[in-house]
Structure 1
Amino acid sequence: MNNRFLNVLWVLMLAGCAGDLDQGLTPGLEDMGEPIADMRVDAGDSADSGADLPVLEPDMTPDTAPDMTEEPEPCSTRIWYGESWIRPERPTTYDDVQGKVTWDGVCQVDGAGNGFAELSNGWKPYFEGRSCVIGFEYSGACEDVPTSCRTRIGYGPSWMAPANHPNRFDDVQGVVTWEGTCRAAGGDSAARLSNGWDPHFQGGGACDLAFRYEQCGGLFHNPVIRADCPDPGILKDGDRYYLTCTHTGGPGLFPIYTSTDLVNWSRDASILAERPGWANDRFWAPEIHKVDEGLYVAYYTASTRSNNRLSIGAATASSPLGPFTDIGEPLIYDPNPGVIDAHYFRASDGKRYLTWKRDGNAVGARTPIFLQEVAADGVTLSGPVSTILTNDRTWEGAVVEGQWIVEKDGYFYLFYSGNGYASPSYGVGIARATSVRGPYTKASSPILRSNGQWDGPGHGAILPGPSGDWVHVYHAWQKGRVGQSPGRQVLVDRVTWSEGWPQMLGAPSRRSQPMP
């Protein structure tokens, strides 16, 4: 007998439907040859017999029958505190609390000049400086919470509010950040936010801003890799990200880091266990790419043993963690004066391309970036070589390099770095074209440059993060420490899009922001 069917019948009978049953269902049941009251679910019933369902006994009433509806999980809140939180001795930067906890976005300042927030549960987290950054993640049966990420920007008492703006805050869908620079604006001050807003404040250095993030995930702050790791390249394969960077010492050549969130990284392997027979030194700017199913190619720069000219090398593997086998000779060799910074790109039409830069700055010449089609094996080049970019803007100085191509909304976007890497003038420019071979039109100014926290940002990878937001993973020097320890650290910041162009108004950042 099907117990699931019997349970349904008992519910109908106990709910007062006996009259309906008398008109047709009851005779059919009597014909089954056994009294309904004697039917039970035995422990030996098969898995698909409904044995996991509650059994309704014949003397049950609707009030005493088992409640088969699941109770929702009670509301709980995870409170994330920004990087300047003055915290007690503890391993985490968050608290888990039962019930809903929130905050109005007002950051008050105490007599010592530290900010503090008054949360709805009575807590008062304190922060160094005059700004509070807090994130709230709600789970369970919480009422009146946003269904997607939302930012509240709280403005301090010196904010010069626009007309007809009664609140001292703005609520914005998505993530809005501030990289922390409070710039002079006449006798007043202003802060440029990542969404392009420019709130002004009375007096100099008066940019008192607070940020409340709801349902945006956890918080992080840069750098995400504190070691010297220049020229980071990123591959996303499955649910993991693979990062590699210029070799600066240690075992193996070109470390491989892995992560599921672009923030927490572990070093798991190296591209090469030892230098290839053809290569001498200057092992720079590696990138790992999946060029075909089950085939990965690591491209890198190295000088040749024969004449010490910089060339493009390649190694192949069946896994992004290797082991990689070098192809045994330079993939691209141009001794006059040498080539560096290979980048692989696959267009939406399926065609594959390799780009690289001529190292003209080494001999006082221009530094064009070239593009050529490559086969599915990732190492067989064919067809014409196109020049897609060269240094012709003042800010670029003698160099363009570190290119990365993104295809989006009918355009090919060419991100590139300009000027000398060991200089605060190093930065990131952008050009776009409707054909991968160009012509490319450059934006009027770089989208990423030095600020009050970081120097010489550049040479990285652009891709969607786990949240779906576009991000740039790149390197930068700590402010005032170009060419010094700890070297070029890895940063992650959001890329936003406005009128067909990317922008990075909230970068390079050190302040806390939602996970990428």
Structure 2
Amino acid sequence: MMFADSSRLGRPFSKDPHVVKFEGRYLMYFSVPPVPDQAGGWGIAIAESDDLIHWERIGEIAATEEYEKNGFCAPGALVKDGKVHLFYQTYGNGAKDAICHAYSTDGIHFTRNATNPIFAPHANDWSNGRAIDAEVYSFKDHYFLYFATRDPKGEIQMQGVAKADANTDFSREDWTLAKDASILKPELEWEGKCVEGASIIERKGKLYMFYAGSYNNAPQQVGVAVSKDGVNWKRVFDRPFLANGKPGEWNSSESGHPHIFDDKDIGKSFLFYQGNDDQGHTWWLSNVEVGWKKGKPYLKE
């Protein structure tokens, strides 16, 4: 799979993939960049596929709210009660960027949650109050909202998590921090100063987090952590699970911002990610099948 949307810049540029299966088709939500010399900022576009390889752009989510005027991006989605629930971040507001929620009956046209933004941590001794890169996952009678934030100086990016009861409508008042501290922050050399973009999958009662280590093109690469409770995490590997490509390969600048998609209908898992070979002049989306053996994921050839 190689996909990129050229509609906004006239060159391939798509980031932050997230895939759901809805009404018999695959839908992929992804970030698209600001249009030069036009008002507004980052946005979210939609593509569809019937085989996870060939994708066609079918739409874009227009900014409709005041809090979206500077941009919004980094979609995360889930299907619940016949609707696609989309979680996304505002962008362009520095430490005030926060997580929003919208829902759709067709996967294309979305109604905003009246309480948006639904979540951001209070600024404190470990976080500057920013929340980006939302991933919401149902586990053990709760919904966990994984997000990236920065330290009070705005230098180190790290993971946090909030939770809501299983009967939530995802509104702001339902969310509380599950842990008033980072649940995963950069510690390994290859992670640089950034751990972001968490994507979650459950296997045999445990959660596995595929995350992005290091800032874009540093290079950013994909790591994996595991948890029994959704809150306390440990790394599965010390080295990148999915590394950036070698010089001359399409992803030599990075393999980043993962989304692990579990296709239960066919019993397979696919890791979607973004990459490029020109330090971010272009961005492409791709995927690779992931297998599982003895409680650990591996890349299938």
TM-score by length of 2: 0.81
Q: CA 1:469 to 1:316, structure 2 compared with 1: closer, same or farther past 3 Å?
A: closer
Q: Is the Cα contact below 8 Å between 1:234 and 1:242 reproduced in 2?
A: yes
Structure 2 matches for 1:36-115, cutoff 5 A?
none
The aligned residue for residue 87 of structure 2 is 299
Q: CA 1:340 to 1:366, structure 2 compared with 1: closer, same or farther past 3 Å?
A: closer
Structure 2 distance, partners of 1:366, 1:269, is: 31
The aligned residue for residue 246 of structure 1 is 31
The aligned residue for residue 225 of structure 2 is 431
Q: CA 1:235 to 1:407, structure 2 compared with 1: closer, same or farther past 3 Å?
A: same
Q: CA 1:231 to 1:366, structure 2 compared with 1: closer, same or farther past 3 Å?
A: closer
2:264 equivalent to 1:476:
no
Match of 1:385 among 171, 178, 181: 178
2:126 equivalent to 1:353:
no
Match of 2:296 among 501, 510, 513: 501
Structure 2 distance, partners of 1:475, 1:416, is: 12
In structure 2, what residue type is equivalent to 1:457?
S
2:162 equivalent to 1:363:
no
Which runs of 5 or more structure 2 residues have no equivalent in the other structure? 6-11
Q: Is the Cα contact below 8 Å between 1:412 and 1:434 reproduced in 2?
A: yes
More strand by share: 2
Match of 2:214 among 400, 419, 443: 419
In structure 1, what residue type is equivalent to 2:102?
A
Match of 2:53 among 263, 267, 274: 263
Match of 2:66 among 277, 298, 309: 277
What is the Cα deviation at residue 346 of structure 1? 1.4
What is the Cα deviation at residue 325 of structure 1? 2.7
Q: Is the Cα contact below 8 Å between 1:369 and 1:401 reproduced in 2?
A: no
What secondary structure is seen at the aligned counterpart in 2 of 1:245? strand
In structure 2, what residue type is equivalent to 1:301?
Q
Structure 2 distance, partners of 1:265, 1:412, is: 29
Q: Is the Cα contact below 8 Å between 1:361 and 1:367 reproduced in 2?
A: no
In structure 2, what residue type is equivalent to 1:464?
D
What is the Cα deviation at residue 275 of structure 1? 4.4
The aligned residue for residue 261 of structure 2 is 463
What secondary structure is seen at the aligned counterpart in 2 of 1:363? coil
2:127 equivalent to 1:333:
no
In structure 2, what residue type is equivalent to 1:355?
Y
What is the Cα deviation at residue 504 of structure 1? 2.1
What secondary structure is seen at the aligned counterpart in 2 of 1:389? coil
Q: CA 1:379 to 1:495, structure 2 compared with 1: closer, same or farther past 3 Å?
A: same
Match of 1:287 among 62, 66, 76: 76
Structure 1 distance, partners of 2:236, 2:45, is: 33
Which runs of 5 or more structure 1 residues have no equivalent in the other structure? 1-221, 507-516
| Alignment size in residue pairs | 276
What is the Cα deviation at residue 326 of structure 1? 4.9
Structure 2 distance, partners of 1:304, 1:483, is: 18
* Relative contact order, higher structure (CA 8 A, sep 6+): 2
CA deviation vs aligned residue, 1:65-124 (integer Å, no higher than 9, x gap): xxxxxxxxxxxxxxxxxxxxxxxxxxxxxxxxxxxxxxxxxxxxxxxxxxxxxxxxxxxx
In structure 2, what residue type is equivalent to 1:286?
P
Q: Is the Cα contact below 8 Å between 1:418 and 1:427 reproduced in 2?
A: yes
In structure 2, what residue type is equivalent to 1:414?
M
Match of 2:237 among 440, 443, 451: 443
What is the Cα deviation at residue 262 of structure 1? 1.0
What is the Cα deviation at residue 332 of structure 1? 1.6
In structure 2, what residue type is equivalent to 1:435?
D
Q: Is the Cα contact below 8 Å between 1:280 and 1:308 reproduced in 2?
A: no
Q: Is the Cα contact below 8 Å between 1:343 and 1:355 reproduced in 2?
A: yes
Q: CA 1:361 to 1:396, structure 2 compared with 1: closer, same or farther past 3 Å?
A: farther
